[in-house]
Amino acid sequence: MTTLNDFRLRLGADEYLPIMVGGMGVDISTADLALAACRLGGIGHLSDAMTPWVSDRKFKTHFTKTKSGRYKFNRDNIDKTKIKFNLDELYKATAKVVSAAVERKTGDGGLFINVMEKLTMGAAADTLGTRLKAALDEGIDGITLSAGLHNGTLKLIKDHPRFRDVKIGIIVSSVRALKIFIRSGKKLDRLPDYAIVEGPLAGGHLGFGEDWADYDLKKIVPEVLDYMRNEKLDIAVIPAGGIFTGTDGVEYIEMGCSAVQVATRFTVTEECGLPPQVKQQYFAASEEDIVVNSLSATGYLMRMLKNSPAIGANIKPQCEPLGYTLSSKGTCLYVDAYYATGNDKDGKKLPVKDKICICYHFSQHNVWTCGQNTYRLKDTTNKLPDGSYQMLTVEHVFNDYLYSENHEIKLPELPAAEAVQA
Ligand SMILES: Cc1cc2nc3c(=O)[nH]c(=O)nc-3n(C[C@H](O)[C@H](O)[C@H](O)COP(=O)(O)O)c2cc1C
């Protein structure tokens, strides 16, 4: 029987196992998670979301404190136009996060970074260019462009010495979006090496509107494959969103895809950056607990667990220390929603209903974004006598994808103590 292990993903001169673990910010797809996928011969992703914050937490740098101090005077000001990231500091933070991972890289796989256009940081093009340059300088193997059309992104790095050798891909949800990107690539004679086609069941932000449920990855992928064939484009097509078993993956590869991108099943691994108690929430979730809403300050729809602590919170906007979703004009949908929310009779701020401060709440792991199949995670592990679910490892989940037949999912070996009781 055919398994994912019967296929290889070829990008330029390099060959990988056909499993990409998608980028999950903020530091949900940690370096440990990405490096494990890479060691096993697949592709792992770092995320470029909030690298100054991630660097501070991991490497005891002080980027956030420094920025906060610089803009302390503005804390109570509704006008956030003055707040900018210092590009030198942003460069250093991204370089630190990337280089620390690149130094630890082992195996034949690829260490890529997911770079989001919607992370506008008060100066969209400048901050995007800075993050990309830092990742390239530090030796990242590949860049996956996400959360946006990236019409002008390639131009930002066209003079970088690694522009033609680094792997470049884009996440799209339609042929239309892909065409826009290809057009910008053609102008620079630099086409992407791969296109990730993300359907409506994915985690994180969705590339669809309110009618997301009307779309089906199984219908979008053939459209993209046809387009590639008709245009004679040699670009690997990689589907994502709801691919839960290795057999799901084989079905896409037999259609003409080159690999799969997966994420949800890795949210409950030891290497994933979510706190252990949050991973238990993911395991325990039922289908009714998973919602798609418009609470993200980016304006994109996002899928999350409906008991995410961020929902209905009312934290004061954190643009001075954080400010990752500020537009180039200094606006943020959460700032608007916060100041449009009144106080109760004791003068206390009411819950902010329309938006979430995703900077603050992602930094605290309070937005439990997840894929639609999160409710199936409980079927991928053992329930322990204390009622909790057994944590998995990247190696276990990766190999389960690689060798799964007939949609079967292999449960992990019970920990020694539980095995004796059983
Ligand atoms: C917890 C979580 C966080 C995510 N964060 C991001 C992100 O920051 N940027 C992005 O482009 N995609 C993000 N995604 C999407 C994944 O990279 C991936 O493409 C998708 O979830 C694959 O579908 P699956 O989760 O059903 O396997 C996230 C997914 C999850 C589950």
Q: What is the DSSP letter of 8?
A: -
pLDDT for 80-122, tens place per residue? 999 999 999 999 999 999 999 999 999 999 999 999 999 999 9
Q: Tell me which residue has its CA closest to atom 5 in ligand 1.
A: 24
> Please, which residues have CB within 8 angstroms of residue 344's CB and are 6 or more apart in sequence?
350
Q: Tell me which residue has its CA closest to atom 6 in ligand 1.
A: 24
Q: How far apart are CA 325 and CA 347, in angstroms?
A: 28
Q: How far apart are CA 260 and CA 281, in angstroms?
A: 26
The pLDDT of residue 416: 79
Q: How far apart are CA 137 and CA 284, in angstroms?
A: 41
Share of the chain above pLDDT 70, in %: 99
Q: Tell me which residue has its CA closest to atom 14 in ligand 1.
A: 204
What tokens appear for 338 in the block?
């916060």
**Percent helix, strand and coil across the chain, each to the nearest 5:** 40, 15, 45
Task: Give the number of other CB atoms < 10 A from CB of residue 298.
Answer: 23
The atom number, within ligand 1, closest to the CA of 22 reads 17
Over residues 182-197, mean pLDDT: 98
Domain regions of the chain by residue span: 4-274+382-406
Residue 422 CA to ligand 1 centre (angstroms): 35
Over residues 32-50, mean pLDDT: 98
Residue 204 CA to ligand 1 centre (angstroms): 5
Residues with CB under 6 A from ligand 1: 22-25, 28, 47, 49, 114, 116, 146-147, 171, 198, 201-204, 240-243, 261-264, 267, 369-371, 373
The atom number, within ligand 1, closest to the CA of 262 reads 27
Q: Evaluate if residue 421 carries a pLDDT over 90.
A: no
Residue 101 CA to ligand 1 centre (angstroms): 20
Alpha helix (H) residue ranges in 212-353: 217-230, 246-255, 276-284, 333-339
Q: Evaluate if residue 161 carries a pLDDT over 60.
A: yes
Residue 146 CA to ligand 1 centre (angstroms): 10
Mutate to test the pocket of ligand 1, among 217, 264, 292, 370 (most ligand atoms within 8 A of CB): 264
Q: Tell me which residue has its CA closest to atom 29 in ligand 1.
A: 203
The pLDDT of residue 415: 85
Residue 223 CA to ligand 1 centre (angstroms): 22
pLDDT for 54-67, tens place per residue? 999 999 999 999 99
Q: Evaluate if residue 225 carries a pLDDT over 90.
A: yes
Residue 69 CA to ligand 1 centre (angstroms): 33
pLDDT for 370-412, tens place per residue? 999 999 999 999 999 999 999 999 999 999 999 999 999 999 9
Residue 123 CA to ligand 1 centre (angstroms): 24
**pTM beyond cutoff 0.95:** yes
Q: Evaluate if residue 418 carries a pLDDT over 80.
A: no
Mutate to test the pocket of ligand 1, among 4, 19, 21, 24 (most ligand atoms within 8 A of CB): 24
pLDDT for 304-357, tens place per residue? 999 999 999 999 999 999 999 999 999 999 999 999 999 999 999 999 999 999
Tell me the fold of 4-274+382-406: TIM Barrel (3.20.20)
Alpha helix (H) residue ranges in 79-123: 87-102
pLDDT for 248-291, tens place per residue? 999 999 999 999 999 999 999 999 999 999 999 999 999 999 99
DSSP 336-383: HHHHT--B-TTSPBPP--S-B-HHHHHHTT---B--GGGGGGGGGSPB
The atom number, within ligand 1, closest to the CA of 199 reads 23
Residue 217 CA to ligand 1 centre (angstroms): 15
DSSP 164-195: TTSEEEEEESSHHHHHHHHHHHHHTT---SEE
The atom number, within ligand 1, closest to the CA of 372 reads 26
Question: 350 with 308: CB under 8 angstroms?
Answer: no
Q: Is the peptide bond before 175 cis (omega within 30 degrees of 0)?
A: no
Residue 266 CA to ligand 1 centre (angstroms): 10
Residue 239 CA to ligand 1 centre (angstroms): 12
